[in-house]
Amino acid sequence: MMRPEQIWIVIPAYNEGPVIGQVVSKVAGSGFPNVLVIDDGSKDDTARQARLAGARVLSHPINRGAGAAAQTGLAYARRQGWNCVVQIDADGQHHPEDIHRLVEVQAQTEADIVLGSRFLDPSPGIPPTRILYNRISNVLTNTFCQRNYSDTQTGFRLLSARAIRNLRLRLDGFGYCSEMIVQAEEKGLRIAEAPIQVTYTDYSLNKGQDLVMGVTTAVDLLWKLLFYPSKMK
């Protein structure tokens, strides 16, 4: 099983100045000292707060979207030769203690990707609109997958060295969550799921995807899948 110091926690962040310091500190406090924050062209002090909390920070010169930031994290991980990356959201909704759970599942299943699922053992207080939105996204994504996944839109994911080497994400926005799963299956990567807990606050609810973003994400994904299937590989 991977030791915590062999694992890098990657956090894509955009305008998360009020919470990013706390998120980085909590991750380090959970026993994972290596934290990389991808500041996606934030207009606030996200990068400074993350550095103050002890994270390594890479900054996009302009805002390009969550998927673009995630791919920058993967590109950097490849350059550095990292063996394991766990990606979590920057808004504080995830519990860093759950990283241990993903690492355990990875060790048991030898999966290349472990998805932290909010719906295998649902936390209380997930808003009904989020449940509905995620169900629709699951149906859409699972249509293009060989297996059914319970939480295709989760931002909490463990990636093995093989996944880091092979994945090339091209969707800039939140559609990358689905793109990663579809592409991983295409490339023969093994995917497992592990239950995670989430805490939604007013802050994190304001930061998530709304209906317009969801529709844009779906159109982006469908466009790529239907007209440029080769780009998904």
Partner 1 sequence: MKLEVYQIIVPLASLGFVFNLVRRFLKSKASWQEAALGAAFWLSVGIFALFPDAISKAIADFFGIKSNINAIIFFCLGLIFFFQYKLFFMLKKNQMAITELARKITLQQAEKEDLQS
Per CB under 8 A, 165 contacts partner 1: no
Spatial separation of the C-alpha atoms in residues 218 and 73, rounded to whole Å: 23
Residue of 15, 59, 109, 142 that binds partner 1 (CB under 8 A): 59
Name which of 17, 27, 112, 14 is nearest 70 in CA terms. 14
Task: Report in angstroms how near the CB of residue 38 gets to partner 1 at its nearest.
Answer: 8
- Which of 132, 219 has the CB closer to partner 1? 219
Query: Which residues are within 8 A (CB) of 147 and not within 5 positions of it... i.e. 6 or more apart?
Result: 185, 191
**Alpha-carbon distance values, 144 to 44, 96, 117, 183, 217 (Å):** 38, 30, 19, 10, 15
Which residue has 């799921």 as its token pair? 193
Per CB under 8 A, 68 contacts partner 1: yes
**Alpha-carbon distance values, 157 to 44, 109, 113, 161, 167 (Å):** 26, 15, 7, 13, 13
Burial degree of 216 (CB within 10 A; 0-12, 13-18, 19+): middle
Per CB under 8 A, 71 contacts partner 1: yes
**Alpha-carbon distance values, 120 to 7, 123, 194, 197, 227 (Å):** 24, 9, 8, 10, 33
String of contacts with partner 1 for each residue 79-118, x by CB under 8 A: x---------------------------------------
Per CB under 8 A, 60 contacts partner 1: yes
Per CB under 8 A, 48 contacts partner 1: no
What single-letter amino acid sits at 35? V
Per CB under 8 A, 203 contacts partner 1: no
Per CB under 8 A, 43 contacts partner 1: no
Task: Report in angstroms how near the CB of residue 62 gets to partner 1 at its nearest.
Answer: 6
Residue of 1, 3, 43, 61 that binds partner 1 (CB under 8 A): 61
Query: Which residues are within 8 A (CB) of 8 and not within 5 positions of it... i.e. 6 or more apart?
Result: 34, 35, 36, 77, 82, 84, 85, 86
Task: Report in angstroms how near the CB of residue 185 gets to partner 1 at its nearest.
Answer: 22
Per CB under 8 A, 172 contacts partner 1: yes
- Which of 78, 190 has the CB closer to partner 1? 78
Residue of 76, 119, 156, 174 that binds partner 1 (CB under 8 A): 76
Residue of 34, 72, 93, 183 that binds partner 1 (CB under 8 A): 72
Task: Give the residues lining the site for partner 1 (CB under 8 A).
Answer: 41, 58-62, 64-65, 68, 71-72, 75-76, 79, 170, 172, 223
